[in-house]
Structure 1
Amino acid sequence: MFAVRSFATKGFLLNSKVAGAGFIHTTTNMSGAKVAVVLSGCGVYDGTEIHEASAVLVHLSRGGAEVQMFAPDVAQMHVIDHSKGQPSEESRNVLAESARIARGNVLDAAKLTAGDHDAVIFPGGFGAAKNLSTFAVDGKDCKVNAEVERVLKDFHKAGKPIGLCCISPVLAAKVLPGVEVTVGHEEEEGGKWPYAGTAGAIKALGATHCIKDVTESHVDVKNKVVTSPAFMCETKVHLIFDGIGAMVKDVLKLTGK
């Protein structure tokens, strides 16, 4: 039933092929910013992109941040057998699957408040478009998970930075009117940017799309929203790692810590 789904925008084909204990070690010096990281499961096709989550955590650790991970306590849209690229006849919980990445130290997103943190970061992965929102099937007409929407609005209202990478910038585009974000380039360029059509959906949501290369981040100074393309680009992993690092560095800079 879910063998092939479209993100409802040209260029972002789900391949949906469309499906996360221990404690995460961030840093021994917890004197920096307190940053919340919101996960969407575990696995690129139905949850958080694991390399992106790892990159976010490594760069936050280097920046001296104190990290707490969160995820909504909801069922996944569906579960993908990543070895076959096909849906599996089972159900999984986003919070429980996110615990795989968080080494068990993950809290319900309902407990996440802007008052307790200096910034929030959303790694990408298809889970952002399936579990944190319905963008995978509804495109610009998507709905955002109620807790995710609340978190985005609360941090924005508090003037605290929000970081997003890969497909997750669509969450900000939907929830924060007039925000500036990037998902990379706006043309596929021979397959280098296979999801370039997402830029059009972002514009349709009323947001501004800014073209950036994979190693770059875009800072919307007014809204304190920082975004980076990550795996929206088909390229070497270390370049994606560097781009996420640029995003994390800019988020931490905006905290003033």
Structure 2
Amino acid sequence: MHKKVAVILSGCGVFDGAEVHESVITLLRLDQRGAQVQCFAPNIAQHHVLNHLSGAEMPESRNVLVESARIARGAVKDVREARVEDFDALIVPGGFGAAKNLSDFAFRGEQCEVQPDVLALAKAFAAAHKPIGLICIAPSMAPRIYGAGIECTIGNDAETAAVLTRMGAKHVDCTVDEIVEDHHHKLVSTPAYMLAQSIAEAASGINKLVDRVLELA
């Protein structure tokens, strides 16, 4: 029986949306493993728009759902349409969009909040004891989803790990090609581009995460 997986995107582009490589690797691996996938994104304005060539902020507004459609080839739905009972697992790729659009971790650190529609869906998966995979900086949302004591990784950046610890998470250092699993909560995380120096390095951990999430589903 094919597993059904929801993937939450946060826009399109590493600096203000979903990390494109991480998102595509995730979708590719899920397809290779025979999973049925539906992408979702919140129907909200991006925090800001950055020029990915120069890094400069651009004087325009973009919608997270509309931008996510670039990665999903149009096949993306408003996250408010997602029903936990329709899926076996949830995966969230990284990119600054996870910390700027899906949450405000990039700006408020340990005082951050997760976008309400995203938080409601993630909490529903957690309550149903269905596996969740969080990639790159997306594990910064884990303490808000699961509460204190959740085990996760963003790699080995001491400053970011310290913020997660203050939020109540139990951070576990992890290499780019490995995963960290909180067995009780069925949460799987991997550093990806928090550490990766190439797309192949990013894929090494993401593929393991996808495989493990599907095993847990």
TM-score range, shorter chain: over 0.9
Unaligned runs of 5+ in 2: none
Q: CA deviation at 1:234?
A: 4.3
- CA–CA distance in 1 between the matches of 2:9 and 2:209? 17
One-letter amino acid matched to 1:52 = E
- 1:6-38 per-residue CA deviation (whole Å, 9 max, x = no partner) reads xxxxxxxxxxxxxxxxxxxxxxxxx41000000
Q: What are the within-5 Å matches in structure 2 for residues 68-79 of structure 1?
A: 68-79=38-49
One-letter amino acid matched to 2:210 = V
Moved over 3 A (4+): none
- Whether contact under 8 Å (2:176, 2:196) holds in the other structure is no
- Whether contact under 8 Å (2:155, 2:173) holds in the other structure is yes
Partner secondary structure for residue 57 of structure 2: strand
> Is the aligned partner of 1:103 residue 2:112?
no
The normalised TM-score by structure 2 is: 0.97
> What is the aligned partner in structure 2 of residue 184 from structure 1?
155
One-letter amino acid matched to 1:144 = V
The normalised TM-score by structure 1 is: 0.83
Q: CA deviation at 1:174?
A: 2.4
> Is the aligned partner of 1:209 residue 2:181?
no
> Is the aligned partner of 1:230 residue 2:192?
yes
Partner secondary structure for residue 44 of structure 2: coil
Q: What are the within-5 Å matches in structure 2 for residues 38-49 of structure 1?
A: 38-49=8-19
- CA–CA distance in 2 between the matches of 1:234 and 1:66? 27
- Whether contact under 8 Å (2:104, 2:113) holds in the other structure is yes
Q: Percent identity?
A: 48
Q: What is the count of residue pairs matched by the alignment?
A: 216
One-letter amino acid matched to 1:60 = L
Unaligned runs of 5+ in 1: 1-30, 187-195
- CA–CA distance in 1 between the matches of 2:145 and 2:100? 16
One-letter amino acid matched to 1:108 = D
- CA–CA distance in 1 between the matches of 2:196 and 2:20? 16
- Whether contact under 8 Å (2:134, 2:189) holds in the other structure is yes
> What is the aligned partner in structure 2 of residue 241 from structure 1?
203
Q: CA deviation at 1:173?
A: 2.2
Q: What are the within-5 Å matches in structure 2 for residues 79-158 of structure 1?
A: 79-158=49-128
> What is the aligned partner in structure 2 of residue 35 from structure 1?
5
- CA–CA distance in 2 between the matches of 1:234 and 1:175? 26
The structure number with the bigger radius of gyration is: 1
One-letter amino acid matched to 2:216 = L
- Whether contact under 8 Å (2:84, 2:125) holds in the other structure is yes
Partner secondary structure for residue 183 of structure 1: coil
- Whether contact under 8 Å (1:173, 1:181) holds in the other structure is no
One-letter amino acid matched to 2:202 = I
- CA–CA distance in 2 between the matches of 1:201 and 1:45? 20
